[in-house]
Amino acid sequence: MAMLKALVVDDASFVRDLVKRTVRQRFPVIETTDAQNGRRAQSLMSRTTFDLVLCDWEMPEMSGLELLQWMRQQPQYAKVPFIMITSRGDKDHVIEAVKEGVSEYLGKPFSPDGLSRKVIKVMGRRLKEAMEGSGKSMAGPAEAFKESATLLTQKREPPGQPVSAAPEAESGKVAGAPASTGRTSPRNNMSLASIRFADSTLKSVVKDINLTEVRVIAKRDQVFPGILDQAVVDIEVGEDQMARLNGYVHQLQAVDKRQDTDFVGVTIRFVDEDPKKLEDLSRFVARFRAGNR
């Protein structure tokens, strides 16, 4: 029986489900509830007392930072652990969250081990006693996850052969592409992208993009993710302005029908529901299509 309660807050249902799944499998004494934004979380927290909050930063209606500020003003939540889980990892944002009383900061995309370590760190003795009281051991995160075949975030090394073959062959434009993020080259109109995963970054060329997903082509000699792995796609939407779009790996496929193909196509399906992010994405899609006419 669960003895502790955690609230998971994120506008993307995929991320909420992933966090809840990880917490349940690693810490069966923690019961999880979720909310799609800070406003909904605030309502739940006013009716129920939670022992841990795991929250995204960028959400519609009320951001994670605003929820944290409100939470620290409530006597019952003044010292409750708050883990900010977000793709915003720049120094200024980390400092801002620390000033407002964040307990820990976890960057997206995260690994189950990384999330587990943060939960253990902020919950401390209380979690240990609850686990021991239920007859569960506090084994290290790696050992705990080895037994789980249902986690969505297991990494794969560069494939010996691609997962599937695309029906059409495409030219290998990735060769020699410089490391970049969402920028369009004035020489050839290629949009170069760096897609971040929990343990690696994939350098690639954007082949197509819409409001639902992006398809990129990457050289096969890199570390590739697994199906359903979390991803963050950084897109430059203006001068010194970056949109960080959360998603997951929807498909991996060969660029051509040869088993020894040098390139692999990766499709990232977006999960964000934040109107601001969708607006930024719309502008990039329009610019991408105009540059490839």
79: pLDDT strictly greater than 50: yes
Q: Rounded mean pLDDT of 103-118?
A: 92
The tens digit of pLDDT for each residue in 211-226 reads: 999 999 999 999 888 8
> At 137, is the pLDDT very low, low, confident or very high (cuts 50, 70, 90)?
low
Q: Convert the pLDDT of each residue in 274-288 to its tens digit.
A: 788 888 888 889 888
Q: List the chain domain ranges.
A: 4-146, 183-291
Higher-pLDDT residue of 258, 252: 252
pLDDT number for residue 55: 96
CB burial class (10 A; 0-12, 13-18, 19+) of residue 126?
A: middle
pLDDT at 3 > cutoff 90? no
Average pLDDT score over the chain: 80
Whether domain 4-146 has CATH 3.40.50.10810: no
Which residue intervals of 51-204 are DSSP H helices?
64-72, 91-99, 112-133, 141-146
Average pLDDT for 170-197: 52
Q: Classify domain 183-291 at the CATH topology level.
A: Thrombin, subunit H (2.40.10)
**Mean pLDDT, range 9-21, rounded to an integer:** 93
Residue 21: what pLDDT? Answer: 94
Q: According to the per-residue pLDDT averaged within each range, which of 93-102, 136-145, 165-174, 233-242 is highest? A: 93-102
User: What are the b/e assignments for 243-264, b being 16+ CB within 10 Å?
Assistant: bbbbbbbbebbbbbeeeebebb
Q: For residues 174 and 3, give the distance between their C-alpha atoms in angstroms, rounded to a whole number.
A: 51
Residue 58, both tokens = 């960028």
Backbone dihedral region for residue 39 (phi beyond 0: left; psi -120 to 50: alpha; all else: beta) = alpha
Which pLDDT band holds residue 196 (cuts at 50, 70, 90)?
very high
CB atoms within 10 A of CB 116: 21
**pLDDT bracket for residue 237 (50, 70, 90):** low
At residue 209, the pLDDT reads: 93
- For 28-75, the pLDDT digits (tens) are 999 999 999 999 999 999 999 999 999 999 888 899 999 999 999 999
Question: Which two tokens mark 7?
Answer: 């609230």
Q: Do the first three CATH levels of 4-146 and 183-291 match, i.e. the same topology?
A: no
What mean pLDDT is predicted for residues 262-279? Answer: 88
Identify the pLDDT of residue 1. Answer: 53
pLDDT of 162 reads: 34
pLDDT (0 to 100) of residue 138: 61
Rounded distance, CA 196 to CA 190, Å? 19
Burial class (CB in 10 A: 0-12, 13-18, 19+), 130: buried
Helix ranges, 33-156 (H): 38-47, 64-72, 91-99, 112-133, 141-146
pLDDT of residue 158: 40
Please tell me the predicted confidence (pLDDT) of residue 141: 44
End-to-end CA distance of the chain: 59
For 100, how many CA atoms within 13 A lie in the half-sphere containing its CB? 21
What is the per-residue pLDDT for 69? Answer: 96
Instruction: Give the pLDDT score at 192.
Output: 80
**Which pTM does this prediction carry?**
0.70
Show Cβ contacts of residue 224 under 8 Å, excluding neighbours closer than 6 positions: 156, 157, 158, 159, 202, 218, 252, 264, 266
